[in-house]
Amino acid sequence: MQRYPQVQKKFLGTVGITAVGMFGKGSGWGIPTAPIHSLFLTLGGITEKPGVVDGQIAIREYLCLTVSLDHDIIDGAPAARFVTRLKELIESGYGLDESTVESQQAVAPGASKKS
């Protein structure tokens, strides 16, 4: 299938995603072994680390995320813009409205943010 990109795209798509963070504590990183997709995202775990908030050091939660791009298909500048925008969307909680946050809190009242 590697020699037939149209067939590969039809059956495998152009974007791959996996989540390894659900397998325990820690960061969880991943690098795809073969360039099957032009974009591959690996979601790791959420870990707490010191970070700067309003000029002060505070404990923050960080999502470990690996973004792998096929440089034969995607140039560096558009890839950098994509990663910058993805980071902005994740940090802002894009797509999560107040009702989503409230329903999550109602399901597990008093539970910590980490699951």
**What is the block-wise mean pLDDT of the chain (115 residues), using blocks of 10 residues?**
70 81 69 76 87 91 88 90 94 81 57 48
Residue ranges covered by each domain of the chain:
1-73, 75-107
Q: Amino acid identity, residue 86?
A: L
Does the annotation count 71 as an active-site position? yes
For the entire predicted model, the pTM comes to: 0.66
Does the annotation count 37 as an active-site position? no
Question: Residue 2: its pLDDT value, please?
Answer: 60
DSSP 33: S
Name the catalytic one among 70, 71, 72, 97: 71
Name the catalytic one among 37, 70, 72, 75: 75
CA angle 62-65-70, nearest 5°?
A: 155
Structure tokens at 93: 């909680």
- Nearest to 19, CA basis, from 50, 44, 55, 52: 44
